[in-house]
Structure 1
Amino acid sequence: ADVEIQTSIRRGQLSFPNPRLVKISTPYLKGGVLFDDFQKHYGGDSPDVLVWKASSALMNPSLTPERLERLKRLDPQRYSREYEAEFSDDLSAFLPWEWVNDAVEEGRHELPPRENVRYLAAVDPSGGGRDAFTLSIVHGEGERSEPLVVQDLIRGWSRRGGESPELVGVVEEIAGLCKTYRVRTVVGDRYAAGWVRQAFEKAGITYRASKLDKSAAYLEALPLFSQGRIRLLDHPQQTRELQCLERRTRAGGK
């Protein structure tokens, strides 16, 4: 993720007396480190960050108005992004930035377990790549026909340097958190390796494979965001990843 790359660069700059991090790019979707900088610092008086936003016409006077107008006629949506430096509500964005932003309860980082509340837990095991091993615990409120989904806890275990997290230890930690919320079953990817199920069983937790693949699960979550029926914790990485999700049509049109 772009935020992890930025974090690594900043860590490497610590030994320099006057480091500067320069980020130059064409705007894309309303998400990621560039959009975060734009939202927080553009037009403001920040002592740490200067955001410069300018059109191609300003930065490259050799481009004639006639040529730019032709490009605009050919593809107005991409012209706005590529030549006017506007962040895009692109059709490829799965969730509009505003939907995700509205779903986040600012300042709420975790909710403690409550009596008489039924909690559900889902995990996304790390496949051995750069992805984190993640856990989320939620509960439902309101009418059964149109429940409000409330996120209570989120955790992630990522690589540190080149080393993967100690996976058995992660499962044991997840099991402890689940038991705090009286959860004895977690739902996860049906393609998880056999050791994942065995590790959870050994820790006293049943691992149940989801009936939906990730694409179908995202589609089922879409109405929760569009109808304002989900409340997420204030977790910057989760927010950023949701805002950066993109639609990709697979073979068969799905």
Structure 2
Amino acid sequence: MNVLEFLDSPELTPGTFEGDTWEPWRAVLSGAFGLPMDKGRARLFKRLSGGRKAPTSRVRELLVLAGRRSAKSNTSAAVAVYLATIGAEMDGLLDKLKPGERGVVGLIAVDRAQAKVLFRYIEGIFDASPVLSKLVSKRGAESIDLNNRVSLEVHTNSFKAVRGRTMIAALLDEACFYADENSASPDVELYRAIVPSLATTGGLLIAISSPWARKGLMYQKWKKHYGKNSDVLVVQGGTQDFNPTIDPRVIKEALEDDPEGARSEWLGQFREDISDFMRRDVVEQAARVEPLELPPCADTRYFGFADPAGGGKDEFTMAIGHRDGERVVVDVVRGRRGTPAQIVEEYAALFKDYRVSRITSDRFAGSWPADEFKKHGITCDQSAKPKSQLYVDSLARFNSGQVEIPPEDKLITQFCNLERRTARGGRDSVDHPSGGHDDRANAVAGLLAEAATRPANIIFECLDDGYEPEWHPYQMFS
């Protein structure tokens, strides 16, 4: 039984994939598994695959770029169940497992919420089929063990989740949107971890996603393989190409409201208005080798910046730095989550350690940071510039080598992940990618803006209270 017979079987997937609206997915899967096609399906496959020839045997990798509401997750779940049951036996993958070894069909989701959606689809397929449900030997919160020595596992994006497993298939759901605070290229790292895990069995890798910016794994694969004959099949289409039941008025209105966004979400095209803001090598060159934090020096004047957060997933961050000639040295960067009032008390004590009594904060933080810091003897002023402008202003300093930052992976990654976006009127903005964070990078960018207002090489003496500097009768400027 091939994958199309599986999807059309009333005993295995009753009522799930009925009707002509699934014909685009049948064409794609026919090509991926090297199945024969009639003329109509062959024409459809050729259009979705960029004009390449249909494979005559199963491909090594299948990558699908499709618009929203194209049944991507539903299809991923169904193919995963097929590969874990009939497909594993058809391809002889079970024979490649060692005694006592379990093969894994892994599904990787963007986040926990999406992982739950995928898992519910998988559970629904087993629950709807008395034949398939007999194969289940154990169910967990994010896994299903089958009595054929295969397990289906759902994970959030992490290369650690697939290491050490013998995989017979891997399905990457919405791979264009993988994000990780500790990696500038989590999709590529995940792919590199999966390839060895599939090597033993010769298993299939499938990645299905709506497109995003012209970077990352999916874009690299599209650029290299779309429309070209190889064992890597890349297909691309808009929402109506995969799901003709969608009301075209919804897409038309989206295109009128946000052309670039709609091209990505509904037409299945990579966005042209988003690009990387900073080169990774530039950011890495700015990082000192060690230490992570520089201790305060008695003859140095410091300044600080805070990016408050009111809870949730964002970190409450701060940075302390000083001028060294034309260079700005970032001595300390910290970020943490918790009760905002407690964090203010902690950060205020740290600012005082560096004799900083006046700081600047993100302009959208509101008045409460100033009120809280004032309780601890720290004056807090709002930044005159929005976050996006702080990033734009910091770029020249990074490019000219006038910045030294701590050797912290999360901070470096946040700078590397920043995206430049061009609005319809031509105005640029800079921000973190969807699902990402930039709290630490924002604190450093704010600190660099603060440095621009400070003179360099100032000689001063400190008052007895240790917080406010007393200016020397003369100053030396570089």
Of 418, 421, 428 in structure 2, the residue corresponding to residue 248 of structure 1 is: 421
Q: Which runs of 5+ in 1 are unaligned?
A: 42-51, 64-89, 159-164
Structure 1 residues 192, 9: closer, same or farther in 2, change over 3 A? Answer: same
Tell me the residue number matched to 1:211.
384
TM score, norm. by length of structure 1: 0.66
SS at match of 1:247: strand
1:100-249 pair list within 5 angstroms: 100-142=283-325, 147-158=326-337, 165-249=338-422
Post-superposition offset of 1:248: 1.4
Tell me the residue number matched to 1:98.
281
Larger radius of gyration: 2
Post-superposition offset of 1:19: 6.0
Q: 2:402 is aligned with what amino acid?
A: R
Q: 2:323 is aligned with what amino acid?
A: G
Task: Give distance in 1, aligned partners of 2:314 and 2:166.
Answer: 29
Q: Per-residue CA shift, 1:165-188, capped at 9, x if unaligned?
A: 111100000001100111011111
- Preserved contact between residue 157 and residue 190 of structure 2 (Cα < 8 Å): no
Structure 1 residues 27, 200: closer, same or farther in 2, change over 3 A? Answer: closer
Post-superposition offset of 1:122: 0.6
Q: Per-residue CA shift, 1:177-205, capped at 9, x if unaligned?
A: 10011101111112213222111000110
- Preserved contact between residue 294 and residue 332 of structure 2 (Cα < 8 Å): yes
- Preserved contact between residue 362 and residue 383 of structure 2 (Cα < 8 Å): yes
- Preserved contact between residue 3 and residue 32 of structure 1 (Cα < 8 Å): no
Structure 1 residues 28, 247: closer, same or farther in 2, change over 3 A? Answer: farther
Structure 1 residues 91, 177: closer, same or farther in 2, change over 3 A? Answer: same
SS at match of 1:92: strand
Task: Give distance in 1, aligned partners of 2:274 and 2:412.
Answer: 19
Structure 1 residues 210, 111: closer, same or farther in 2, change over 3 A? Answer: same
1:45-124 pair list within 5 angstroms: 56=225, 58-60=230-232, 92-124=275-307
Q: 2:415 is aligned with what amino acid?
A: L
SS at match of 2:420: coil
Q: Per-residue CA shift, 1:139-180, capped at 9, x if unaligned?
A: 1112xxxx101110111012xxxxxx1111000000011001
Structure 1 residues 186, 124: closer, same or farther in 2, change over 3 A? Answer: same
Q: 2:336 is aligned with what amino acid?
A: W
Higher strand proportion, which one? 2
TM score, norm. by length of structure 2: 0.37
Q: Which runs of 5+ in 2 are unaligned?
A: 1-108, 113-154, 194-204, 206-216, 236-272, 428-478
- Preserved contact between residue 361 and residue 383 of structure 2 (Cα < 8 Å): yes
Structure 1 residues 223, 234: closer, same or farther in 2, change over 3 A? Answer: same
Post-superposition offset of 1:211: 1.1
Task: Give distance in 2, aligned partners of 1:123 and 1:62.
Answer: 45
- Preserved contact between residue 317 and residue 333 of structure 2 (Cα < 8 Å): yes
SS at match of 1:193: coil
Q: 2:302 is aligned with what amino acid?
A: Y
- Greater relative CO, 1 or 2 (CA 8 Å, sep 6+): 1
Structure 1 residues 38, 177: closer, same or farther in 2, change over 3 A? Answer: farther
Structure 1 residues 250, 184: closer, same or farther in 2, change over 3 A? Answer: farther
Structure 1 residues 206, 99: closer, same or farther in 2, change over 3 A? Answer: same
Q: 1:221 is aligned with what amino acid?
A: S
Post-superposition offset of 1:207: 0.5
Post-superposition offset of 1:3: 11
Moved over 2 A (4+): 2-5, 8-11, 18-30, 32-39, 52-63, 249-254
Identical aligned residues as a percent = 31
Q: CA RMSD in A?
A: 3.9
Task: Give distance in 2, aligned partners of 1:217 and 1:231.
Answer: 17
SS at match of 2:371: helix
Structure 1 residues 148, 241: closer, same or farther in 2, change over 3 A? Answer: same
Structure 1 residues 252, 10: closer, same or farther in 2, change over 3 A? Answer: closer
Task: Give distance in 2, aligned partners of 1:186 and 1:137.
Answer: 9
